[in-house]
Amino acid sequence: LQHQFKNGELISYPDLTIKSGEKVLVTGDSGSGKSTLFKLILGKLSPTSGKVIFEDKNGKEIKLNRDEPGYVAQDNTLFPDTIENNMTMFNSKLDEKVKRVVKQVEFENDLKKIPAGLKHEINLDEGNLSGGQKQKIVLARAILAESKWLFIDEGTSAIDSKATKKILKNLLNQETTIVMIAHNFNSELENLFDRKISLKNGGEQG
């Protein structure tokens, strides 16, 4: 799998297979192509050569709707509305699940400090939420969507390690196939995953 950018930079990847239900950590230096790999898998970028294939349990190729997998990008996409609507994406059927997911992403204590709680209106101009709070909201949104695949790009980088450990344990306990990019995890956090893929200049290093 390769992708060449307009500036001529070429990133190459080894053959990778991720099995259904696996929890995989992707690490690597800045510029090693971690985020680009996600964009190729999700169809947000087209490969220059090679291809990304989704297969069923019998090895038959699946024509996947690329909007189907959950994706938590580095830049948290929030909109000016309530915290709850940012989590449910206006799907009222998910309202009853919000409190459970709030616990899963360690957002309960944050909500206690916010007078309006889940009904708090997010003001993008004032920046009235911390980076960690924003990440928890986006993670909650991804969990509520109940996708079979979840790709997380530095989704806990602004959350302290103690809360990150609790969040990961809750996340990785699901049947969902989870692939997560992180560069600052200690060995304890890394060991929560089934395996680790290390990229170096686009090449797999174990």
Q: Going by CATH, does the domain composed of 1-69+147-206 fall within 3.30.565.10?
A: no
Q: What is the three-class DSSP state of 98?
A: helix
Please report where in the chains the tokens 């996340």 appear, as a residue: 171
Integer angstrom CA distances of residue 179 from 28, 32, 79, 114, 168: 14, 16, 25, 32, 12
Task: Output the tens digit of pLDDT for each of the chain's 206 residues.
Answer: 999 999 999 999 989 999 999 999 999 988 889 999 999 999 999 999 999 999 988 999 988 777 789 999 988 789 999 999 999 999 999 999 999 999 999 999 999 999 899 999 998 887 789 999 999 999 999 999 999 999 999 999 999 999 999 999 999 999 999 999 998 899 999 999 999 999 986 454 44
Per the CB < 8 A criterion, the answer to whether 13 and 49 are in contact is no
For the chain, give every residue range classified as CATH 3.40.50.300.
1-69+147-206
pLDDT at position 152, please? 97
How is residue 82 annotated by DSSP?
A: B
Q: What is the pTM of this model?
A: 0.91
